[in-house]
Amino acid sequence: MRASRLVQILLLLQTRGRMTAARLAEELEVSVRTVYRDVEALHAAGVPLYGDAGHAGGYQLLAGYRTRLTGLTTDEAEALFLSGIPGPAAELGLGSVLAAAQLKLRASLPAELRGHADRMQARFHLDAPGWYAEDDPVPYLPQVADAVWNGTVLAVRYRRWKEPTDVDRRLEPYGLVLKAGRWYVVAGPGPRTYRIDQILELRTLDEEFEHGPPEGFDLPAYWRQYRADFHAGLHRAEAVVRISPRGAARLTGAAAEAVAATGRPEPAGDWIRAVLPIESTEHAHGQFLGLGAEVEVLEPAELRDRLRETARDLGALYATGAP
């Protein structure tokens, strides 16, 4: 385990340059004290590694030093072939590049590792989009990707959900994210997040954004926070409901968790009273209609009234025979 970690430290410093002990500890998921001990071990082994103190300090390999400890283990070879995602690569215009890279990598592997990698590709397939979502066309994805690679500015016509829906934006693209089959670009100023399939028009401007992404910008960290903020903003209200066991079994996600956390059996029968998070009256109206007579909304009154009116209209619609 430690030997593997020492190799990781060498490779991190070789590929990224100067890194602080805190940053290395974060990458390796160990304590800073463990990093200090590992660095001492590398020093003792004759690795030309030195460190500087201060705000701009950190550990660094002596200029020109390269490690050759880059042999792949079986697990690493399998993981590399599993990480090849042909669909998204093709959307980026890199399908043939990925295929060529995998072919070269496969040819360089020993026979045993090649067999493991082939089995991994044969037995695992990633299909990112959800079942009920068609693949959205993303005609401007290659141009956006090119702007990300080269740090060039984009002028776009963008469609958003609120009025005015179609707006003009100047984007400084920092990175791309593929989430549940949809492509997003994170771009300045801001940064802000844009769905690429909602770009209506695009022009690549003959300029580069001066300073690149903000100092210290971390795309995975930004996306984790963006996703957390998105989920936190989804459920801004609550509904008090009575729900049957059959209805409760059909709930998923936050609603199912809320039933488990707040559900209390009613004095008579096997129904449960619970407090469920909802996005809005409109959204909850459709959600609870889908449960039919397996749920009764008690609060808020506005939502209960909407459901009662809909039930009355449905009753009138089906009171007569089919035409």
3-state secondary structure of 45: coil
pLDDT value for 107:
67
The contacts of residue 95 (CB under 8 Å, 6+ apart) are 86, 89
Q: Which two tokens stand for residue 38?
A: 């590992």
pLDDT value for 195:
94
pLDDT value for 74:
62
Measured CA angle at 169 (ends 145, 90), to 5 deg: 20
Question: Which burial class, exposed, middle or buried, applies to 154 when counting CB atoms under 10 A from its CB (0-12, 13-18, 19+)?
Answer: buried
Contact 14, 67 (CB under 8 A): yes
Label residues 180-217 b or e (16+ Cβ within 10 Å = b): eebbbbbbbeebebbbbbbbeebeeeeeebeeebeeee
pLDDT value for 166:
94
Q: How many helices (H) and strands (E) does the chain have?
A: 13, 11
pLDDT value for 192:
92
pLDDT value for 82:
56
pLDDT value for 97:
63
Alpha carbons 49 and 47: distance in angstroms, whole number: 6
In this prediction the pTM is: 0.58
How many CA atoms are closer than 13 Å to the CA of 112, on its beta-carbon side? 4
Grouped pLDDT means (10 residues each) for the chain, 323 residues: 72 81 86 87 81 76 67 60 63 66 66 71 69 76 88 93 90 89 88 94 86 80 88 82 93 88 87 90 90 94 94 88 66
The contacts of residue 142 (CB under 8 Å, 6+ apart) are 92, 93
Q: Which two tokens stand for residue 56?
A: 């701009």
The contacts of residue 238 (CB under 8 Å, 6+ apart) are 275, 276, 277, 278
